[in-house]
Amino acid sequence: IKRDPRYAQLTEEHVKFFTDLLGEGSAVIDGVTKDATDDIEPFNGDWMRKYKGHTKLVLKPGSTEEVSKVLKYCNDHMLAVVPQGGNSGLVGGSVPVFDEIVINMSRMNEIRSFDEVSGTLVVDAGCILEVADNYLKEKGYIFPLDLGAKGSCHIGGNVATNAGGLRLLRYGSLHGNVLGIEAVLPDGTIVDDLSKLRKNNTGYDLKQLFIGGEGTIGIITGVSILCPQRSNAVNVAFLGLESFEKVQQAFREAKGQLSEILSAFELMDSYSQDLVHRVTKNKHPLEGEHPFYCLIETSGSNSEHDNEKLEKFLEYVMEKGIVADGVLAQDATQIKSLWGWREGIPECLGHWGGVYKYDLSIPISELYSLVEDTREKITKAGLIGDGDKDPVVGVVGYGHMGDSNLHLNVATRTFDKRVEKELEPFVYEWVSKRNGSISAEHGLGLAKKNYIGYSRSETMIKLMKQIKNLYDPNGIMNPYKYI
Ligand code: FAD
């Protein structure tokens, strides 16, 4: 890609406007003037160390009004911007491609209000997910979204990516849980749609465009969200299974027998567990090796009752030969350690160098075939092995089985064009043939910008472009990304 010459170059005069507006401590500047040499690199790179931008300016507005003034100025002066939350996104959407100004939301991090009867939480967009969830914990509530990056991701970023996470199976998607949004459009208009209503059928539901919009039509500054009551009983089982056929049977049984208390059903293959073990050296919870592992979590109101249900379920699936081996967590520490074998996968895979990540929705019966087909392809190409010259360390599959969402990850010693050539467009074609989605929950960002056509028709893409042009006619919002 080439830098779009329509965008202005940043000048000292621009920087002066912003620093006068936002005050001290609210800008990170490197390179615009000689004496400005802040450490700007963390804002230019992503979590996977795969994408790297060249911004010289990061702005940290402290209020919705400041966001509005910043955006209006950028729009009037044709300065391109990238909204940035916790920068934990996995598709390169939160970092600049060239010299776009980063608008980092970390200073807008207050909890605005909470209604203890309805469970409606209103927060600034820059509020960290874990901080909000800890606040809710004290009130007996839970945030309806949980994911491995909870300690750094922002709620605004979660909403902008329509993050799915570990408990979508139980609490549903943000498209349903988010009740209202406050956002700023590129021309500075503040969209105050911070409704707290559960039901509101008065015309188009425009907030939905910001949910999963990936910062391409405006900046989310506030979110109101419906939070469920926190379950006081949480139980976790970790299972070993001999085939993907059996994983599907176990999932059916779990839905039937655990029904209303089932809160997560996660899948991990033996390859992913092996790589986690090689990095952490922890002892695996189950003896012997099984091709597949599942983590089942239940959340309910009565620990004894839930435990009894889970024990009965486990007895049943083992007796029927669906599950080969399994353990039940005995306490909170063990729950955490079992979850570590699932939540630790993304971090451990990065240990060797680079990871090619694919986040896919696939009809459940064929979910794992993609991992097998990909492994075969990479093996045939002679790219996998333990030698230093073999770029691929492992082809692994894991993910949110309960939502038919597979994470196909190829861990490599370094990002390597030969590997990429084997994977793309192969993976996208494979998924498209089965009417799946090339992005189940991470979004498109920069990584998948060229592949949207595998999941969306020309008509749909045209409509998206029309919406983009309506909200952002100058195209300053997160350019070079998927739209
Ligand atoms: P960023 O990475 O900063 O930004 C993501 C996108 O949103 C960018 O396009 C950015 O421009 C835009 N954006 C950010 N804030 C705003 C705003 N206020 N207004 C408008 N646009 C904005 N994702 C899942 O869905 N499910 C998972 O289970 C999951 N697990 C993960 C585990 C790990 C270990 C890691 C590192 C990531 C995981 N992710 C997962 C991906 C990532 O955490 C989510 O996409 C998260 O929602 C991103 O939030 P963020 O604040 O870090 O956003």
pLDDT above 90 for 388:
no
Strand partners, 297: 236, 264
Residue 383 exposure: Cα atoms within 13 Å on the Cβ side:
24
Return the best residue to mutate from 147, 181, 194, 406 for the ligand 1 pocket (most ligand atoms within 8 A of CB).
Answer: 147
Return the best residue to mutate from 60, 153, 155, 468 for the ligand 1 pocket (most ligand atoms within 8 A of CB).
Answer: 153
Region 106-115 average pLDDT: 98
Task: Report the complex ipTM.
Answer: 0.99
* Fold topology of 111-226: 3.30.465
102 and 458 Cβ atoms separated by less than 8 Å: no
pLDDT above 80 for 34:
no
Q: How confident is the model at residue 483, as a pLDDT?
A: 87
Q: Which atom of ligand 1 is nearest to the CA of 83?
A: 11
Pocket of ligand 1 (CB under 6 A): 47, 82-90, 93-94, 105, 125, 147-149, 153-154, 156-158, 160-161, 163-166, 214-215, 219-220, 346-347, 441-442, 445, 478
Residue 194 identity: L
- Tell me: the pLDDT tens digits for 119-167? 999 999 999 999 999 999 999 999 999 999 999 999 999 999 999 999 9
Q: Which atom of ligand 1 is nearest to the CA of 148?
A: 32
Q: Which atom of ligand 1 is nearest to the CA of 183?
A: 19
Q: Which atom of ligand 1 is nearest to the CA of 218?
A: 20
Q: How confident is the model at residue 340, as a pLDDT?
A: 97
- Tell me: the pLDDT tens digits for 275-295? 999 999 999 999 999 999 999
Q: Which atom of ligand 1 is nearest to the CA of 221?
A: 18
- Tell me: the pLDDT tens digits for 393-429? 999 999 999 999 999 999 999 999 999 999 999 999 9
- Name the residue ranges covered by the structural domains of the chain: 12-106, 111-226, 233-343, 346-442
How far apart, in whole angstroms, are the C-alpha atoms of residue 411 and residue 353?
8
Domain 233-343 and domain 346-442 have a common topology:
yes
Ligand 1 centroid – CA 47 distance (Å): 10
Residue found by looking up tokens 């435990």 in the block: 307
Q: Which atom of ligand 1 is nearest to the CA of 156?
A: 18
Region 320-342 average pLDDT: 96
Q: How confident is the model at residue 139, as a pLDDT?
A: 98
Q: How confident is the model at residue 33, as a pLDDT?
A: 79
Ligand 1 centroid – CA 103 distance (Å): 15
CATH no. for 233-343:
3.30.70.2190
* Fold topology of 12-106: 3.30.43
Ligand 1 centroid – CA 88 distance (Å): 5
Q: How confident is the model at residue 208, as a pLDDT?
A: 98
Ligand 1 centroid – CA 135 distance (Å): 21
Q: How confident is the model at residue 38, as a pLDDT?
A: 84
Looking at the chain, how many residues does it have? 483
pLDDT above 90 for 478:
yes
Q: Does domain 346-442 have CATH number 3.30.70.2740?
A: yes
Ligand 1 centroid – CA 472 distance (Å): 22
Residue environment code for 205-237, b if the CB has 16+ CB neighbours within 10 A, otherwise e: eebebbbbbbbbbbbbbbbbbbbbebbeebbbb
Cα maximum dimension of the chain: 74
249 and 374 Cβ atoms separated by less than 8 Å: no
Q: How confident is the model at residue 31, as a pLDDT?
A: 85
296 and 237 Cβ atoms separated by less than 8 Å: yes
188 and 471 Cβ atoms separated by less than 8 Å: no
How far apart, in whole angstroms, are the C-alpha atoms of residue 177 and residue 172?
7
What do you get for the CA distance between the two ends of the chain, in Å? 14
Region 213-240 average pLDDT: 97
Q: Whose CA is nearest to atom 42 of ligand 1?
A: 89
Task: Classify residue 387 as exposed, middle or buried by CB count within 10 Å of its CB (0-12, 13-18, 19+).
Answer: exposed
pLDDT above 90 for 32:
no
